[in-house]
Amino acid sequence: MNTILMTTLTISGITGILALLLSVANRTIANYGEMKLTINNEKEYTVEGGDSLLSTLIEEEIFIPSACGGKGSCGYCKVKVTEGGGDILPTELGYVTPEEQKAGIRLSCQLKVKTELKIVIPEELFNVKQFDYTVSSMEDVTDKIRHLKLQLPENASIDFKPGQYVQILTPVYKESDEEVYRAYSIASSPVNRNAIELLIGYVPEGICTTYIHKYLKKNDTLTIVGPFGDFYYRDTDREMVMVGIGTGMAPLLSILRYMRDHGIQRRGTFYFGARTRKDLFLTEEIDAISRELKDIEVVYTLSRPTPECNWEGPVGRVNDLLDQRLGDCSELEAYLCGSPLMIDAVMDVFQTKGFPMEHVHYDKFE
């Protein structure tokens, strides 16, 4: 027993020392100096080598989506590398398909700038900016979800499409010693470009959500980068199926508010799933929107109603409800938002119903 313990301690000790030496070496011996970074074959930057490509680009105020804040666990920070960068790393393999690898796609948070690099990024990322918002209001809409209203200075504005998201730069605070970016969908309509609203769920021990729920105060400044994402309202005539649970309400609410603000009359149904009645929120506004946009039906379903809920509506998960209610899907368009589990379950239903997948848009909150 003692021998096993000693061996484990020795191995852990050696590994720890090696990791420390590597990190010191990286900072001191491995001084890569200045490198040339070329973007989209036209913009050239002289950057300091050694850091991740993602951080290097942030230094140049070019913001690549990074929903996990550079941990290599979201796969959002892909860029196309056309020259330099070396071989793909084991930490990238789970997120970059073999076809993408052949096309030079890399995770910019994993790839270190150690050689001259040529990369290609979507032009619209040059429009992503960093903003300092003031928290103008904070309200708990359920015991886990906080509704934030954020205000820009008078002459500043953000341009976004309904459904897109921003990233909050969480500062260092008492319970976290690192700055991290986290993705949050905008809940407000782009009609007001001077302010945004967010719906932020509490994740126990989560870095950003702990900050938002326990430390952030009214009138504080919150640094936001955005907008990002290809989940946004498509201007088509198709009948819409909108499906959300929890904070997945946010981008769908932005879409509904946008439709209301522009008087867009399209047929559609907004399905929202919650556990109990107290997990439903902002229903007054949503019901008012559906009265105004007469062809938008709203259906709430509770997966675990208690007797106190006094609930007479549908019971069960949204995917089961969709399974019961959806008939011919060929002319439909879907917007799904919330946990990966919910989205995968809905996608399974869509598969069996022959839903045209090119008309399914989703954001997984992972």
Cis peptide before 314 (omega within 30 of 0): no
Shortest gap between Cβ of 181 and ligand FES (angstroms)?
8
The residue (of 109 and 225) whose beta carbon lies closer to ligand FES is 109
49 contact choice in ligand FAD, ligand FES, none (CB below 5 to 8 Å, kind-dependent) = none
207 binds, among ligand FAD, ligand FES, none (CB under 5 to 8 A by kind): ligand FAD
Half-sphere exposure of 164 (CA within 13 A, CB side): 19
Residue 335 binds ligand FAD, judged by CB under 6 A: no
Two tokens at 119?
A: 């990369």
- The least distance separating ligand FAD from the CB of residue 218, rounded to whole angstroms, comes to 19
Tokens of 76: 């959002």
Q: Residue 304, Cβ neighbours under 10 Å: how many?
A: 12
68 binds ligand FES (CB under 6 A): yes
177: contact with ligand FAD by CB under 6 A: no
- Out of 56, 63, 76, 336, the only residue in the binding site for ligand FES (CB under 6 A) is 76
Backbone phi, psi, residue 173, to 5°: -145, 180
* Residue with Cβ nearer ligand FAD (114 or 144): 144
Q: Supply the minimum distance, in Å, between the C-beta of residue 196 and ligand FES.
A: 22
Instruction: Tell me which of 63, 95, 160, 184 binds ligand FAD, using CB under 6 A.
Output: 184
**Measured distance CA(257)–CA(196) in Å, rounded:** 12
**Whole-number Å distance between alpha carbons of 76 and 181:** 12
Cβ partners under 8 Å of residue 139, min gap 6 = 146, 147
Site string for ligand FAD, 35-74 (x = CB under 6 A): --------------------------------x------x
By CB under 6 A, is residue 332 in contact with ligand FAD?
no
Rg (CA), the chain: 23
Is residue 229 at the binding interface for ligand FES, with CB under 6 A as the rule?
A: no
Binding map of ligand FES across residues 88-107, x = CB under 6 A, - = no contact? -------------------x
Taken as a whole, the chain contains a residue count of 366
Could you say which of 109, 169, 225, 293 contacts ligand FES (CB under 6 A)? 109
Distance from C-alpha of 350 to C-alpha of 357, rounded to nearest angstrom: 8
Contact call for residue 363 and ligand FAD (CB under 6 A): yes
Question: Taking CB positions, which residue lies at the least distance from ligand FAD?
Answer: 206
Near ligand FES by CB under 6 A: residue from 32, 40, 62, 72: 72
- Asked if 183 is part of the footprint of ligand FAD (rule: CB under 6 A), the reply reads yes
List Cα–Cα distances, 144 to 166, 199, 336, in angstroms: 20, 10, 21
Residues that bind ligand FES (CB under 6 A): 66-68, 70-77, 107, 109
Residues that bind ligand FAD (CB under 6 A): 67, 74, 165, 182-185, 199-201, 203, 205-209, 229, 247, 250, 363, 365-366
